[in-house]
Amino acid sequence: HFKAHKYLGRIKRSSDDAMQIIWELLDFSSSKQHMNGSELADLDQVTDNCVRMLESEMHVKNVLLNRQYNLAKLRNKHETTSRY
C-alpha cells in the first residue's frame, strides 16, 4: 500500500508540473503575440497538444502502476503457496 501511495503522489506531482507547463505555454503564446505584433498563436492547438501529452503520461504511469500491482500480487501468491 505504501508504494501505491508513493506512486500516486508522484503522479499528482507530475500532473501539477504538466499543468504548470500548460500555463507557461499559454503565457508564452500571449507574449509572442505582443512581441511580434502577429496573430495570437492558436491556444486551442497548444492546449490540445498539452492535453494529449498529459493523457499519454497518465497512460504510461497507469500501465506502470498496474504492472507493479500485478507483480506484488504474484509475489504474495508465491509466498503464500511456498509456505505450504
In tens digits, the chain (84 residues) has pLDDT values of 567 677 677 777 777 787 788 778 777 766 655 555 555 556 677 777 777 877 887 787 788 888 888 888 888 887 777 665
pTM of the model: 0.41
Smallest Cα–Cα separation from 44: which of 18, 26, 20, 17?
26
Longest dimension (CA), the chain: 76
The C-alpha cell at 19 is 499543468
13: exposed, middle or buried (Cβ count in 10 Å: 0-12, 13-18, 19+): exposed
Ramachandran quadrant class, 40 (left: phi over 0; alpha: psi -120 to 50; beta: rest): beta
